[in-house]
Structure 1
Amino acid sequence: MTTAIRSEFLKFFTTRLWWGMAIGIFVAGGLFAGFFGWALTSGAAQSSPGAPEGDATQVANTVYTSGMGVGYLLLLTIGVLMIGAEYRHKTITSTFLATPNRLTAMLAKVVALLGIGGLYGLISIVSSVGVGAVVLNLTGRDPFPSGEVFRTMALSLLVLGLWGLIGLGVGILIKNQVAALLVGIGVAWIVEPLAGVLLGFWDFGAEHIVKFLPTQATNAVVNSVTQGPSVARLEWWVAALVLAGYAAVLAGFGIWRTLHEDVS
């Protein structure tokens, strides 16, 4: 198992993809932290109609995790590529020959994705805290108003890893790498948020469906600010379980399918 995990890390970190995405997450974390730090604390933004609402802890959480919107899409992409590239370049056979136990090979990918998600989460946090704490200080806010802020930072590492597993499941279920990327990113970035907005106009949907969508669960885990007091939200630990459920179902079904299908 250890050898298989090491192999998955080598496959990823010996390409230029990893540092390109690392730069993207680092830059996005700093830029979004600076923007949201100013937007959420400036007097004009706070007094405008429909301005986001939240206490000091939620403001800090939002600033420090604002780059996750980019981060989870990149981890979704990495998850798809980790298996999609194997099918595209016909290396999946070599992988299973090197690790004859397919379950071990797939579990190694799961562990690697969780580790990669944690690494990118740390990169994002270093950037966002470095910029966000300065902005919050300059605007008269406490950069670390409670211990919950540190809990949120830790949970953001888990969230990115789970989005990587969601991408892994999508990449297995849709063998064409390009199609898997388009479907995965399209649903996460466009379809699901749009569905959340439309369902929000339906009382039952707003109360019982929207809060269980993946991006809404992600926001609940990190306890970011809301656009109004009436927005339904899960408790952070329930939201974490919901997001883990999406990852378990998609990655679990994908792994089960891989164990029982012919590979050429």
Structure 2
Amino acid sequence: MNLVRSELLKIRTTSTWWILALIYLPLWGITLFFNYVQSDQLVNGDLSQVPADQTDAIEAVSQPDSLTANLFTNGQFMGLMMVMLLGIIVVTSEFFHQTVTTTFLTAPHRSAVMLAKLVAAAGLGLLFWLVTTAANLLAGSAVLGGIGVETSYGSAVWEAVGLNGLAYLLWAILGVGLGVLIRSQIGATVTGILLYLGGSIGAVIIISTLAARFGDWINNLQLAVPSLASSLMVAGTDIPGNPPRWAGAAVLIGYAVVAGVVGTLMVRRRDIS
């Protein structure tokens, strides 16, 4: 526990966490606005021109459970990137400030240090999720009331909120793994952002194009992309043509376990001088 507290102290005594929070705040607001527009269109818009092959999916996402889950997990896409960056910084800040040698001299068991970093990053991810969820509960209920939909508090909604918390925790761990792989703080941060944003956008375009040509089974390839697997986890219902929510969670857990194990092994073997 002392090592975990030490890792949390390192983050608290830097400006990184609140800079990321300030960057995330307007992004959260913009996402909420777009979710409001989308929800209003699904409930009150004219959907008569929807293609027949998309009708089932539209009906699924128009249900109160799905609308509520979407708003209660608002900001997930950018939020996960922020906790990934926090996870990166938990590791790379040691090399950036040249304190890593002191850390390992003070606590010579590198596996214990790495475990502390993973636990600290996971805790920060959950804290980020708790604050975001509190804001989403208030804002989401207001949006639903504004478009004439009663807020759903069914089990599917809370399952989506809980899985969203799991996604925040796992992405923080993925960030730690990337930070170990690329010790340069700037290099790891830029690489993480490019992989997250570029990989997500590119995967959506490619998968959509292939699905239109070869059929909906291509949508299962979403599971190979961590950010898309995260999105599947927070749907208020299983959407026709998409993999089930549990599959997204299982894949993301696999990525996080690999990142944690590989990161620990690299820290134990790599020269830190």
Which residue in 1 is equivalent to 2:140? 132
* Residues paired across the two proteins, number: 260
* Equivalent residue number for residue 232 of structure 2: 220
Q: 2:259 aligns with which of 238, 244, 250?
A: 250
* Corresponding residue of 1:66: 74
Partner residue in 2 for 1:19: 18
In structure 2, what residue type is equivalent to 1:186? L
Alignment-mate amino acid for residue 210 of structure 1: Q
Alignment of 1:1-264 (within 5 A): 2-42=1-41, 43-44=44-45, 49=50, 53=58, 54=61, 55-202=63-210, 203=214, 206-223=218-235, 229-230=240-241, 232-233=242-243, 235-264=244-273
Q: How far 1:5 moved relative to its partner?
A: 0.5
Alpha-carbon offset, residue 219 of structure 1: 1.1
Aligned in 2, Cα 1:208/1:156: closer, same or farther, shift over 3 Å?
A: closer
Deviation of 1:93 after TM superposition, in Å, equals 0.9
Cα offsets for 1:24-58 (capped at 9, x unmatched): 44554454234313421242375674797212211
CA distance in 1, matches of 2:29, 2:149: 18
What is the CA distance between 1:212 and its match in structure 2?
Answer: 3.0
Aligned letter for 2:92?
A: G
**Aligned-residue offset at 1:66:** 2.2
**Equivalent-residue separation in structure 2 for 1:74 and 1:197 (angstroms):** 23
Q: TM-score normalised to the size of structure 2? A: 0.86
Tell me which amino acid in the other structure corresponds to 1:214: P
SS in 1 for 2:45: helix
Task: Please say if residues 89 and 185 of structure 2, whose CA atoms lie closer than 8 Å, have aligned partners that are also in contact.
Answer: yes
Distance 1:68 1:45, change over 3 A: farther
CA contact (8 A) 1:75 1:163 kept: yes
- Relative distance call for 1:137 and 1:3 in structure 2 (3 A) is same
Return the letter of the residue paired with 1:108: A
Residue 250 (structure 1) shift: 2.0
Q: Deviations over 1:152-183 (max 9, x none)?
A: 22221221111111111111111222121111
Q: Which amino acid aligns with 2:45?
A: A
Paired letter, 1:185: I
Equivalent residue of 1:201, what SS?
Answer: helix
Do 2:200 and 2:228's aligned partners in 1 also have CA atoms closer than 8 Å? Answer: no
Question: How well do the aligned residues superpose, as a CA RMSD in angstroms?
Answer: 2.4
Unaligned residue ranges in structure 1 (runs of 5+): none
